[in-house]
Chains A and B, each alone.
Chain A
């Protein structure tokens, strides 16, 4: 905080006390009080208007409407839902649909973005140019337009179920979505899931032990590779132990639509495709920048001490590149989650779409918009908590 220059220290000429508008500290208090007062007044004004309006239109406030019967169907849902269920249940279905499309989208985006980012740096002219063209094209077209495009493509270019495309055995592609065969439910699947969990837990333990051993003896242990083998091997053993069930639930054409198998709706596919292709272009640029941020000298130094190319990537390039990549990558993945709210434009029942229907039916606009904001804020805040933790963990130790 700046102070008035005190040129006459100790002399009688010094003014007794500066008036309060000259004292930065007192002035700051006045400013803050005024700012708070203004914000408070604005809030009060809006609040009182809202109260009056709600009373005039006789809209009840509060979240009581959540218990009422929703009365609308939702196309796809991860949990049991029917029109007779409550609004709360409908909103849960919407939230789960948002989580579903975001989670699958994030996985595909990271994979595709990494590939395109590496391809952008390829020494192969054709591959590098194609990757560059992809990035430019996707980044410069609004994601909403891309969603509309994919959705329209589904309806205009794919045939009706009767003439469904059949690229592989058991996979059908038509304007009702992508329909494919899945293994029939059997107790083996649960066992395989547990086997995978066990493999991952074992891998985590091995990794810890390997690092301790390396600290003690200097010998390295290929924990990642062993974990990958384990996570394939253990579920396979579980599958064999249950007598290797191979029965498949193959989709059949009955009447005008398919029964059996798993159907991925056109809405979901278009949304996923649009979000993944759009966000992957940004992720690709982040990955490229991250890899380029590791100096050539690092690679040369690593090779000069005799590390193999795999080890150079794993021990030298990745740890440094990831530190640059992860923060902007998280931002992009968060923006994918926020962009999934565009689902409403093509009719996928995500949280915003369900809330919008709820608002239209009940007139609870304030509660609805507040719910949307709270849910997305929860996503964002938990992500930034994670980010802060990660940044602290990987921060460069400076001298």
Chain B
């Protein structure tokens, strides 16, 4: 009979250098000689950079003061933002009516948050969005229920940025799906048209399309007909985004196994039914993450309308900085905008990554 192990037997604890803070440091920062050197070099560099930046941004800075007070200090003049926030956000939208774009933006954020949950992905969601977009457009434009009419030329600032990207993606999506189907079609003429369109658009910069909309498009219209500049830019963004969406959707279509087509055929479904009931629901599900990434690109790309002198949020900021009172504080204003864009884009990109993980039903 062996003696049972004594209950009081002491187990050796791991060495102090392997656990806790020291263990973590050894494992993650000093786990080899070159990593130790890298760590030390980076800490030294950060020590050089961070304190002066911190001092500039938070210690020596002014947060809500007049521009004269800003001239006295060495630090950041964040005052440029609160003092001009109204113009930066709303641009030329008539004062006193600014609750309308605010409400429209809130509606958009609410809809986006609602669509975030996968349990909300039903047919009704499409209808909610349709109603939401109409209400947003109506709120912005007005002209009924006692709201004064605000021409699209006066739409500016953050609402314009959001409207251009949102309507851009909503308009581009169906067009992109049609183009992708066309590109996969067996009819040579249809296929050629779609391929030429997609490759042409993807081969040129967005700027050239925006130029086309601003300087060339008026020549295309019959005499006397004019289309507003914002609308023209919107169409250019839609046409541009559609080509990229088409390629994303084509990826999904190509990922569909042949068996799905054959099974649909054997059920006697025609082309429309096959696509609508069998292929597209599966293919579009696969490409949701890249589609969200495409939305992200569309949001970033709308900033390009600055170049054709539309007053999106970047242009209103630039206009503020052109005011002699506030020249010289571009860095602060651009950092504010960068934070604004970063919040929106980061939310989208991390959502796209999360979806990719959730929807990954492969092996």
Contact = CB atoms under 8 A, between A and B. Distances in A.
Interface in A32-82: 32-33, 35-36, 39, 46, 49-50, 52-54, 56
B234 to A, nearest CB: 18
Interface in B112-128: none
B171 to A, nearest CB: 18
Contacts of B193: 35-36, 39
Given A35-B190, A143-B300, A338 B205 contact: yes
Contacts of B218: 53
B199 to A, nearest CB: 8
A141 interface: yes
A139 interface: yes
Contacts of B335: 149
Interface string B278-319: 000000000000000000100011011011000000100010
Interface stretch (B7-15, B83-91, B136-144, B207-215): B207-215
A53 B222 CA distance: 8
A127 B318 contact: no
Interface string A262-303: 000000000000000000000000000000000000000000
Contact of B190 (A31, A352, A368): A31
A357 interface: no
Given A130-B42, A145-B334, A149-B334, A50 B219 contact: yes
Q: Considering residues A2, A124, A368, A379, which has the most beta carbons from chain B within 10 angstroms of its beta carbon?
A: A124
Contact of A52 (B205, B222, B318, B345): B222
A377 interface: yes
Contacts of A142: 300-301, 303, 314, 341
A148 B212 contact: no
A149 B193 CA distance: 41
Interface residues of A, number: 61
Contacts of A20: none
A304 interface: no
B38 interface: yes
A135 B181 CA distance: 34
Contacts of A139: 345, 349
A137 interface: yes
Contacts of B216: 365-366, 369
A341 B205 contact: yes
Contacts of A369: 208, 211-212, 215-216
Contacts of A377: 200, 203-204
A256 interface: no
B205 A49 contact: no
Interface string A110-146: 0000000000001111110010000011011111111
A152 B334 contact: yes
Interface string A17-35: 0000000000010011101
Interface hub of A32, A39, A140 (most chain B Cβ within 10 A): A140
Interface in B207-264: 207-208, 211-212, 215-216, 218-223
A123 B35 contact: yes
B188 interface: yes
B307 A124 contact: no
Interface in A369-399: 369, 372-373, 376-377, 379-381
A57 B268 CA distance: 58
Interface in A300-347: 338-339, 341-342, 344-345
A137 B342 contact: yes
Contacts of A168: none
Contacts of A36: 189, 193
B67 interface: no
B102 interface: no
Given A31-B190, A50-B220, A52-B223, A376 B208 contact: yes
Contacts of A35: 189-190, 193
A207 interface: no
A32 B190 contact: yes
B304 A53 contact: no
B29 A126 contact: yes
Q: Is the interface of A mostly helix, strand, loop or mixed?
A: helix
B349 A140 contact: yes
A352 B207 contact: yes
B9 to A, nearest CB: 37
A342 B207 contact: yes
A166 to B, nearest CB: 19
Nearest to B313: A145
B331 interface: yes
A46 B220 CA distance: 5
Nearest to B189: A32
Query: Which of B190, B219, B314, B328 has its CB near the most chain A CB atoms (within 10 A)?
Result: B219
B204 A338 contact: yes
B261 to A, nearest CB: 10
Contacts of A380: 199, 202-204
A153 interface: yes
Given A1-B186, A28-B186, A373-B204, A344 B38 contact: no
B338 A141 contact: yes
B64 interface: no
A198 B185 CA distance: 52
A361 to B, nearest CB: 12
A124 B291 CA distance: 34
Contact of A341 (B29, B43, B208, B303): B208
Contacts of B221: 49, 53
Interface string B154-188: 00000000000000000000000000000000111
A12 interface: no
A356 interface: yes
B35 A365 contact: no
Nearest to A356: B211
A124 B35 contact: yes
B29 A125 contact: yes
A27 to B, nearest CB: 10
Nearest to A378: B203
19 contacts: A5-B268, A50-B219, A53-B220, A53-B221, A56-B223, A123-B28, A124-B28, A127-B38, A140-B349, A141-B338, A141-B345, A144-B303, A145-B341, A148-B314, A345-B306, A352-B205, A366-B219, A380-B203, A380-B204
Interface of A: 1-2, 5, 28, 31-33, 35-36, 39, 46, 49-50, 52-54, 56, 122-127, 130, 136-137, 139-146, 148-149, 152-153, 155-157, 338-339, 341-342, 344-345, 352, 356, 359, 365-366, 368-369, 372-373, 376-377, 379-381
Interface of B: 28-29, 31-32, 35, 38-39, 42-43, 186-190, 193, 199-200, 202-208, 211-212, 215-216, 218-223, 265, 268, 296, 300-301, 303-304, 306-307, 314, 318, 328, 330-331, 334-335, 337-338, 341-342, 345-346, 349
